[in-house]
Structure 1
């Protein structure tokens, strides 16, 4: 294959993939009135399948000033909040822009964690954008639309995942070594179980 031809494929691939892993900074326009958007979104949940096996508790608030806020908590501690900013685009259309803010919790600074891992932050926003779209378009949530951002978050954090697994393996090995050493000491002392 010619180098120019390959470069063209790479540019085309990147231009298709990049929008799938970056949040929509302009928001999206839906063919519903702002009143209907507020009403529908105030009943919407957090996106499914994105927050692991134990999704956080969520409280939804309609602030009354064209914003819907989802506050995510675990064990009473705020983790983060999504905000959907609504803006009328004529009589029968609404622009919705999703933001994510991490909380500075009692035990963990989630705002800092999201800042340190923008690919995870982007994945959460893209998932919420899909939840908003599914809600306002009256269709099921499509996790496949979040897969590219999930993949980017996983790839970007492979080092941290590997480090975590290495630490767990080292701790397990050390515990096994201590158990063997204890068994030898007990054997030498004549102690039996």
Structure 2
């Protein structure tokens, strides 16, 4: 498939997902999670200047949102729970749901991040530094990121994020891509 067609298809599917997710929630919640502690619904309501029922309704639309045992938010793209993608920002060790998140979140948060991940086929470490203005360092330099066409599910993590990885090289990604339809 032609690259421009593939990118257009991904963008169209994300537009469906974005209609299901309250985008005005994303940036304030990312900023709160980036502080490194669970975020209560009350704190989020205060930050957003929303009533509690609107916060609850917005969060209910995002089935991937992670909570701790006390009902506090611990993950929404950026997470306090360990994943394959370590995302260090201002000395705070956090994680992301997918490789694409680490490329986007520094620009959204306005802060640089040191990222470490493992190639799922070789086990080799892929590390990078991403600043708000773009990628500043990538090791190995041959590393690539996988992209898949997300389905129309409201669960972005299962439909997209769990399939977006860093690979040490295009060759390392080849077998994985061959086994994953839509990659």
Q: Which TM-score bucket, shorter chain as reference? A: under 0.3
TM-score, normalised to structure 2, is 0.26
User: Which of the pair is proportionally richer in helix?
Assistant: 1
Rg larger in 1 or in 2? 1
Q: Which has the higher contact order (CA 8 A, sep 6+)?
A: 1
TM-score (norm 1): 0.25
